[in-house]
Chain A
Amino acid sequence: MRLRSIPVSAWVGMAGIALALVCAIFAPWLAPHGESEIVGDIWQPMGGQFLLGTDNLGRDLLSRLIFGARTTIFVALAATVLSFSLGMLLSFTAAVTGGLVDQTFSRFNDLMMAIPTLIFALVVLAVLPQQLWILILVMAVLDSTRVYRIGRAVALDVAVMEFVEAARLRGEGTGWIIFREILPNTLSPLLAEFGLRFAFSILFLSTLSFLGLGIQPPAADWGGMVKDNKDGIIFGISAALVPGAAIAILTICVNLVVDWLMKRTSSLKGGRGDA
C-alpha cells in the first residue's frame, strides 16, 4: 500500500485522532492548569487570560478539555477493546462450532439487541453502583452484541469458503482454522468495525455522562463538561459547546478513517477474483 493512495479525508482523520491521543497521554504536561483547579471567575469569555474561557465553577476550560480527552478516550477505548474481545471470541466460536452453541449464543444476542442500547444502559445503571469499572463493563457488554453480530456474519462468510473446508479435510484443529485460515481474511472489515465501535463508544459515553450517569465529577470528561455548562447556554455562553465540539470532531475523525478503511475493504473484495 502506498501512502499516496490514502485520501486526504483519511489523513485529516488520522491527524485528529493523533492530536487527541497526544492530549490524552501528555495531559498533565500540556494543560496550563490543574484538572479541578479553580482559577478565575465563572464563565469567563474566550481569549484573554484563558484561551477557551472558564467553566461554571471558574475552572480553565482548556485544561479540563485536555484532561477530559484522557478520561473520555481511555474509557471509550477500554470499553471498545473489551466489547471487541468479547464479541469476537463468542462470534468466532459460534461460527466455527455451529449447531447448538451457535443457536444459543445467537438467540440470546437477538434478545439483548431487542432492547435499545441507551434504554438498557439506563435500566442497568439505575441499579448498579456508580463506579468506573462498572460503567466500562456495561458499555462493553451492550456494545459486544453488535460486534457479535458483525463478527459472526464475517466469520461465516469466510468459514463457508472452500479453503476452510480444505483445511478441515486436511484434519486441522479449530485453533488453526480460526487463527490461520479465517482471521487473516477478516482483519480488514474487523478493523473498520473496531473504528465504528470506538466512535460509537465515544458518543455513548458522552451521552451517558451528559445524562449524569457516566463519569462522575469532579473528574473531567467531555460529556460531563457539557452537562456542567449547559445552563450557560440561555445566557448566550457557549462554554458547553466547546467540549461538545471536541466530541463531534473526534468522532468525525474516527469516522473518516473508518470510511476509508471500508472503501478499501470493498475494493479489495472486488479485486480479488480477477487478478
Chain B
Amino acid sequence: MPDLLSVRDLKIEATSYPPGEPPKTVTLVEGVSFDVQKGKVIGLIGESGAGKSTIGLTALAYGRGGVRITGGEVKLNGQDLLKLSPSGIRQVRGAKVCYVAQSAAAAFNPAHRLGDQVIEATLKHGIMSRAEAEKRAIYLFRVLGLPNPETFGERYPHQVSGGQLQRAMTAMALCPNPELIVFDEPTTALDVTTQIDVLAAIKHAIEETNTAAIYITHDLAVVAQITDDILVLRHGKMVEYGSVRQIIEAPTQDYTRALVNVRGSRRDEAPDQSDTLLKIDNVTAGYGGFKVLHDISLHLPKGQTLAVVGESGSGKSTLARVVTGLLPPMQGSVSFGGKTLPPALKGRSRDELRRIQMIYQMADTAMNPRQTVRDIVGRPLSFYFGTHGREKTERVKELLDQIEMGERFLDRYPAELSGGQKQRVAIARALAAKPELILCDEPTSALDPLVAEGILKLLLKLQEDTQVSYMFITHDIAIGLAIADSVAVMHRGRLVRFGPKSKVLSPPFDDYTDLLLKSVPEMEIGWLEKVLKTRRMESAGN
C-alpha cells in the first residue's frame, strides 16, 4: 500500500534572539523520516524540546512563530507539501490534514458557537453542503460521546467543560473527512479520569472513520493504547522507530528502555508503628465563606511518606496551605510532634516554621531568579541557625553533594539550571532547614518522566539518610503508590479513602478510588480495551 504521508530527512530551524546577543540559528529537528499509511496511527513521543510538535505541524506545512522547515520533504499522497504555493497549502489544511491542539480551550474562538466552528473548514473547502456538514457534526458529537449531540453545537466554548472541548476539537478535525489528523497532546491538560474518556472517544472516532493520525504525546503508556507505530524522538533526532509492540516489548535503545521502565519501581510500605508526626483533625477550610475542604482527618508517622492523591479541584493543595499555616482552617486543628500548631502562619514560632518545609511544583517560580544557588540554599542556614561565612559555604556544598549536584553550581542563577536541577536545588533549600516534614506539592508533574524518576529516587534516598517525613501531593495515583507508605485519596474536598498503601489498594473499593486506579494508563498494549470492557462506553457522556 502506498504511504499516505511520507516524511524524509526533515530539517527544521529557528532563529532565536537571546537578549544582549546577536541572533543565532538553532536546529530544532534533523534527519527525521517516517511514514503513515492510510487509516494507521503513528505516535511521536519524546520529552519537552524533542521537537515532536514541530514535526507534527510539518504535516500541515506550518511553522509556529519563526520556525522554518529548511530541508527534506513532506509528501502527502506523493505531493511535496513544502513545494506548494500558499494557496495550495490552504487547500490541504483543514481539508486533507487537520489539527487538534493541546489546549482546546484556547484554540476555540470565544466569539462563535461551537457548531459553526466545527463545520467551518468543511464549508470553506466546499466538501459538503451546510446541511450535510451539520448532520455530520451531530454524528461526530454522538460518536465522541458528547452530551445532547443535537444541540451541543449551539453552545459557546466557555459553556462546556475542558474534556468536552477537547472532544469537540476532535469533531472539528474529523468533520471534513480528512485523510490525516495531527493530535498534539490532546489529553495532557486533562485530569486522568477525563483523559481516559477522551482517549477512548478519540480512538473510537478514528477507527469509526478510518482516518490516519499522528499522535503526539510525552506519555508512552498513552500512546501505546492508540497507535500502530511509534517514533521516539530526543533533542530533535530519531531514537527509535518501530511498531508499538516492538517499542513497548523489545526496545533496542537504552533511552526507549528507560522510558518503558519509568514506572517500574514500587516501594514496600514501612510498618505503621513509629510515633505520629503530623496529625490533621477534622479540618474544614475554604476561602471567604466558600468551603473547599470538608472535615479532613489524616495522620503521618515519623520518617514515612503520605501521598495525598486527587484531581484538580479536589482540595489537595488547599490542605497543604492549611498545614503550612497560609490558610487557617475554619474548624479543626493541625498538630505536629504531639503539639497543636497555631493555625495561622503569623502565630508560629521560627522553630515551628523550620520543622515544616515545602517543595513546589514549579521550581521556576519557587526560586528568586535574582539569587544564586548559594543564596537560595544558604538563606535558611543563616535565618534558622545563624550560620555565616565559610561555615555556611561548607554546609551549602554538603547540601549540593546530597542532591548529587556539586559545588560548581554554587554561583549559578536558577535560569542557568535545567528543570530537574532547579527542583534539586529546591530540595536542598528545604533540607537546609533540617526539617522533620517536607510538603511536596506535585514536585515532579512539570518534569519529563525520566527526570521525575530521578527526583523521586533522590527523595527516597534522602528519607533513608535523614528520616524526614514527606506529605506528597499528587494528581497521579501511580506516583503516590510508588513512593508512599500511606495514601489519602481526595475528591471534591472530601477524603474518600485513607490508610496504609496495602489497605488502600485492596478491595472493596469505593467508586472514586476504583475509577482513579483504573484510569492510570499502564504500559501495556490493549489496556484501554480491557478497561473499557469493564466500564461501558456510555460513561464517557458525563
Contact = CB atoms under 8 A, between A and B. Distances in A.
Contacts of A161: 365
B345 interface: yes
B364 A170 contact: no
Given A170-B380, A268-B19, 10 more contacts: A5-B19, A163-B366, A166-B366, A169-B325, A170-B379, A170-B433, A171-B353, A171-B354, A171-B383, A184-B370
Contacts of B389: none
Contact of B18 (A168, A184, A271, A273): A271
Interface in A154-206: 161-163, 165-166, 168-172, 180-181, 184-185
A242 B367 CA distance: 52
A17 to B, nearest CB: 21
A262 to B, nearest CB: 12
A165 B369 contact: no
Interface in A242-275: 264, 267-268, 271-273, 275
Contact of B365 (A162, A181, A268, A271): A162
Nearest to B413: A275
A268 B19 CA distance: 7
Interface residues of B, number: 34
A272 B416 CA distance: 9
Given A161-B365, A170-B353, A171-B353, A185 B345 contact: no
Given A185-B368, A272-B369, A275-B416, A162 B362 contact: yes
B326 interface: yes
A169 B21 contact: no
Say whether chain A's binding surface is mostly helix, strand, loop, or mixed: helix
Contacts of A169: 324-326, 345, 353, 356-358
Contact of B345 (A162, A168, A272): A168
A180 B368 CA distance: 9
Given A5-B19, A172-B383, A271-B19, A163 B324 contact: no
Interface in B1-25: 17-22
A161 B357 CA distance: 17
Nearest to B376: A163
12 contacts: A1-B20, A5-B21, A161-B365, A162-B362, A163-B365, A169-B353, A170-B380, A171-B354, A171-B383, A181-B368, A184-B370, A185-B368
Interface of A: 1-2, 5, 161-163, 165-166, 168-172, 180-181, 184-185, 264, 267-268, 271-273, 275
Nearest to B49: A274
A180 B356 CA distance: 22
Interface string B357-395: 110101011111110000000011001000000000000
B326 A165 contact: yes
Contact of B19 (A163, A166, A267): A267
B415 interface: yes
A268 B356 CA distance: 34
B383 A166 contact: no
Interface in B293-331: 324-326
Contact of B368 (A1, A163, A271, A273): A163
B17 A170 contact: no
B350 A171 contact: yes
A5 B21 CA distance: 6
Interface of B: 17-22, 324-326, 345, 348, 350, 353-354, 356-358, 360, 362, 364-370, 379-380, 383, 415-417, 429, 433
A144 B304 CA distance: 54
A142 B231 CA distance: 62
Nearest to B418: A275
A2 B21 contact: yes
B360 A162 contact: yes
Nearest to B380: A170
Nearest to B370: A184
The residue in A171, A180, A267, A271 that gathers the most chain B C-beta atoms within 10 A of its C-beta is: A171
Contacts of A267: 17, 19
B324 A275 contact: no
Given A169-B353, A170-B383, A185 B19 contact: no
A268 B20 CA distance: 10
Contact of A162 (B325, B366, B379): B366
Contacts of B360: 162, 166
B415 to A, nearest CB: 4
Nearest to A163: B368
B366 A185 contact: no
Contacts of B348: 171
B415 A5 contact: no
B414 to A, nearest CB: 8
Nearest to A275: B415
A253 B360 CA distance: 44
Contacts of A268: 19
Nearest to B48: A274
The residue in B22, B325, B368 that gathers the most chain A C-beta atoms within 10 A of its C-beta is: B368
Contacts of A275: 415-417
Contact of B415 (A1, A2, A184, A272): A272
B20 A163 contact: no
Nearest to A183: B370
Contacts of B369: 185, 272
Contacts of A272: 364, 369, 415
Contacts of B345: 168-169
Contacts of A5: 19-22
Contacts of B353: 169-171
Contacts of B416: 275
A28 B356 CA distance: 65
A165 B360 CA distance: 10
Contacts of B356: 169
Contact of A166 (B18, B358, B364, B370): B358
A5 B22 CA distance: 7
A273 B19 contact: no
A185 B18 contact: no
Given A169-B353, A171-B350, A163 B415 contact: no
A187 B22 CA distance: 24
The residue in A5, A161, A163, A184 that gathers the most chain B C-beta atoms within 10 A of its C-beta is: A163
A157 B326 CA distance: 18
Nearest to A162: B366
Nearest to B19: A267
A1 B345 CA distance: 40
- The 10 A-B residue pairs with the shortest CB-CB distance in the complex, in nearest-first order: A184-B370, A162-B366, A275-B415, A5-B20, A171-B353, A267-B19, A163-B368, A162-B365, A162-B360, A1-B20
A161 B416 CA distance: 19
Nearest to A181: B368
A273 B369 CA distance: 10
A103 B22 CA distance: 46
Contacts of B21: 2, 5
Given A168-B345, A171-B350, A272-B415, A184 B368 contact: yes
Contacts of B383: 170-172
Contacts of A165: 326
A188 B95 CA distance: 47
Nearest to B362: A162
The residue in B325, B365, B416 that gathers the most chain A C-beta atoms within 10 A of its C-beta is: B365
A2 B20 contact: yes
